[in-house]
């Protein structure tokens, strides 16, 4: 399964809207072209699903609890953190600045994990 197929399945089951599906498909392409990070099913399925669900929650006025402070501190200490912040802030801009701080924390966790895996693969 490809990420686009995952998003389409979420749309077909009315888990996400058609607009969210299209937005996230564009975001996947932009992430590769602008930030040099390739999002694929094998490395980013959970991340894309989380982001799609987060967008739907936000549009419905729902919120989520912030990430545990100890986990957030661990992320901030990661060598991948600065690049992850640039990517998540870029995503937030692309999505119309709708991501609250709590959601950004979870996305930073996902992106730092992905970047760490990318570095280990390249080493």
Phi-psi region of 46 (alpha: psi -120 to 50; beta: other; left: phi over 0): alpha
Model's pTM, two decimal places? 0.91
What confidence score (pLDDT) does residue 90 get? 97
What confidence score (pLDDT) does residue 57 get? 94
The per-residue pLDDT for range 59-109, each reduced to its tens digit, is 999 999 999 999 999 999 999 999 999 999 999 999 999 999 999 999 999
pLDDT(1) > 90: no
- Helix (H) / strand (E) containing 87: helix 81-94
Residues in the chain: 123
The per-residue pLDDT for range 16-52, each reduced to its tens digit, is 999 999 999 999 999 999 999 999 999 999 999 999 9
What confidence score (pLDDT) does residue 34 get? 96
Distant-in-sequence, close-in-space partners of 26: CB < 8 Å, separation ≥ 6? 94
CA distance 78 to 117: 12
């Amino acid at each position: 399964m490809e990420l686009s197929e995952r998003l389409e399945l979420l749309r077909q089951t009315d888990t996400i809207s058609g607009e969210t599906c299209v937005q996230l498909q564009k975001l996947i392409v932009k992430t590769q072209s602008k930030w040099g990070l390739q999002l694929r099913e094998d490395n980013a399925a959970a991340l894309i699903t989380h982001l799609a669900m987060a967008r739907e929650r936000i549009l419905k006025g729902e919120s989520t609890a912030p990430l545990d402070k100890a986990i957030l501190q661990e992320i901030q200490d990661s060598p991948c953190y600065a690049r992850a912040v640039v990517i998540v802030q870029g995503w937030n801009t692309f999505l119309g600045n709708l991501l609250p701080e709590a959601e950004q924390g979870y996305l930073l966790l996902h992106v730092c994990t992905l970047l760490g895996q990318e570095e280990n693969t390249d080493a």
